[in-house]
């Protein structure tokens, strides 16, 4: 089974869409990019906490969600939205850096080990 899909809140997705629309208005990316349904949770993990507690599910702190927007031409925008309320957009990447992040995610999903198991993607 591939990586188990995760999703975030509607408010966070809207915050990413606002940032994406701003990039379009600035002319940095073309209009018509579609926001992908899956979001990647981003966790903060200190080495001290990891050394004290082997269960990373208990010591990792959810701090943000990463979204992707793509189109048929291969354009990619990646953005991070805080896990706090109200959510705030903290980062937007486009072009080659965003494409590399998306390609790395897709490559993970295609690994035989991932296809044979059940995994949740977590960015540390």
Q: Please check whether residue 80 is in contact with residue 65, taking contact to mean a CB–CB distance below 8 angstroms.
A: yes
pLDDT value for 84:
94
Counting Cα atoms < 13 Å in the Cβ hemisphere of 34 gives 7
C-alpha 1/C-alpha 24 separation (Å) is: 36
**pLDDT confidence tier of residue 116, bands split at 50, 70 and 90:** confident
What percent of the chain has a predicted confidence (pLDDT) above 90? Answer: 64
Q: Which residues contact 30 (CB under 8 A, 6 or more apart)?
A: 24, 71, 73, 75
Asked whether residue 57 carries a pLDDT value surpassing 80, the answer given is no
Residue 59's closest CA among 49, 51, 73? 49
Residue with tokens 């937007």: 92
Residue, of 117 and 27, whose pLDDT is higher: 27
pLDDT value for 6:
83
C-alpha 87/C-alpha 35 separation (Å) is: 17
Residue 119's closest CA among 41, 37, 52? 41
The greatest distance separating any two alpha carbons of the chain, rounded to the nearest whole angstrom, comes to 48
C-alpha 21/C-alpha 103 separation (Å) is: 23
pLDDT value for 38:
87
pLDDT value for 5:
81
pLDDT in tens, 21-45: 999 999 999 999 999 988 999 999 8
What percent of the chain has a predicted confidence (pLDDT) above 70? Answer: 98
pLDDT in tens, 67-101: 999 999 999 999 999 999 999 999 999 999 999 99
Counting Cα atoms < 13 Å in the Cβ hemisphere of 52 gives 8
pLDDT value for 100:
96
């Amino acid at each position: 089974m591939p990586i188990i899909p995760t999703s975030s809140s509607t408010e966070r997705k809207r915050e990413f869409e606002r940032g994406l629309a701003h990039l379009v208005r600035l002319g940095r990316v073309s209009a018509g990019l579609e926001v992908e349904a899956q979001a990647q949770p981003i966790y903060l993990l200190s080495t001290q906490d990891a050394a004290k507690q082997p269960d990373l599910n208990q010591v990792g702190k959810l701090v943000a969600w990463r979204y992707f927007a793509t189109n048929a031409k291969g354009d990619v925008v990646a953005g991070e939205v805080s896990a706090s309320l109200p959510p705030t957009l903290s980062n937007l990447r486009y072009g080659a850096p965003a494409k590399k992040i998306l390609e790395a995610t897709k490559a993970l999903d295609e690994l035989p080990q991932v296809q044979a198991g059940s995994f949740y993607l977590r960015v540390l």
